[in-house]
Structure 1
Amino acid sequence: MRPDIDHADESWQARHTGICIAQQIAIVISCAVLPRLRNFVDCIANGSSDEQQQIQTMAALGLAALAAATTPYGIEAFDSVLKPL
């Protein structure tokens, strides 16, 4: 661990990076994400209620990328995040 970064900074940055990776996977492989769509949505879902604004924003962008990549299929995979929103 770097001495100039505390655990709180590292923690939100790790969550941000993880969601960003899921977003980029959706963009790159597009509809090929369909078999694992629910898993990706579940991974990103907690980010929408995170205390950090950057995480909430990245979660929204990640979910949007997944939705765009899988349109018009798989809407039921988003049920867990659509109702709270």
Structure 2
Amino acid sequence: MDQLDEQTMQMAEEQIALERKKLPSLNLLPEEERKRIVHRVIILTTPMIIHEDNNLRARGTEIISDFSKTVGIATMIDVMRRDIDDMDEYVRNGAAVCFSIVASTLGIPAILPLLREICHNMKPWQARHTGIMIVHKITIIMRSTALLVGSNAIQPHLVSLMEIIEPRLKDETKKVRTIATLAMDVLTEVAAIRY
């Protein structure tokens, strides 16, 4: 990490630390204030969760996971949903990683209805692309976890995830088809792993 990067990350972590102090009482705050805090934390942690440094990614993942456990799936989806079809690929990629962390933390079934809606019903190709990226990133996270601990939490959801992706293999947009192929490849790989 270069010096500017380190300074930026240090400032972000200081701001996140201030927001984390609010965790114990976060659900006592009015809904809009709670959402504002969660959105701010997501903005601050996005550079961490997509960074190449494993330690930064782990810290960012822990932060998103802690906030997810505190505020629950509905608030997390509501806050992150606005970034699904953003024109900026950086924002969409951050949203996909964040959604995958939330799904890994709170359970894949909690996010399946949203993934179906995004991948099957949303018109902007950016939204469908992000939905498939979410599935791809969930699968990668869960595969890594499975290999580390020797169990496969994604196995019961493989069919549902494949059904979400399958129609996008023939999507009119090449970027959507490409990420759908990559996601299907990882899902197929995970299906073949024996524990």
Structure whose alpha-carbon radius of gyration is higher? 2
- The amino acid across from 1:66 in the alignment is L
Q: Does 1:24 align with 2:145?
A: no
- The amino acid across from 1:11 in the alignment is P
Farther off after superposition, 38-47 or 25-34: 25-34
Aligned equivalent of 1:78? none
Task: Give the secondary-structure state (helix, strand or coil) at the position aligned to 1:32.
Answer: coil
Aligned equivalent of 1:37? 158
> TM-score with structure 2 length normalisation?
0.32
Aligned equivalent of 2:128? 15
- The amino acid across from 2:128 in the alignment is R
> TM-score with structure 1 length normalisation?
0.69
Q: Does 1:57 align with 2:170?
A: no
Gaps of 5+ in 2: 1-81, 88-122, 144-151
Percent identity over the alignment is 32
Alpha-carbon distance in 2 for matches of 1:70, 1:32: 11
Aligned residues: 66
Task: Give the secondary-structure state (helix, strand or coil) at the position aligned to 2:124.
Answer: helix
- The amino acid across from 1:32 in the alignment is A
Superposed CA RMSD:
2.0
- The amino acid across from 1:28 in the alignment is I
Give 1:57-76 correspondences, 5 Å limit: 57-72=178-193
- The amino acid across from 2:133 in the alignment is C
Alpha-carbon distance in 2 for matches of 1:27, 1:67: 12
Higher relative contact order, structure no. (Cα contacts within 8 Å, ≥ 6 residues apart): 1
- The amino acid across from 1:15 in the alignment is R
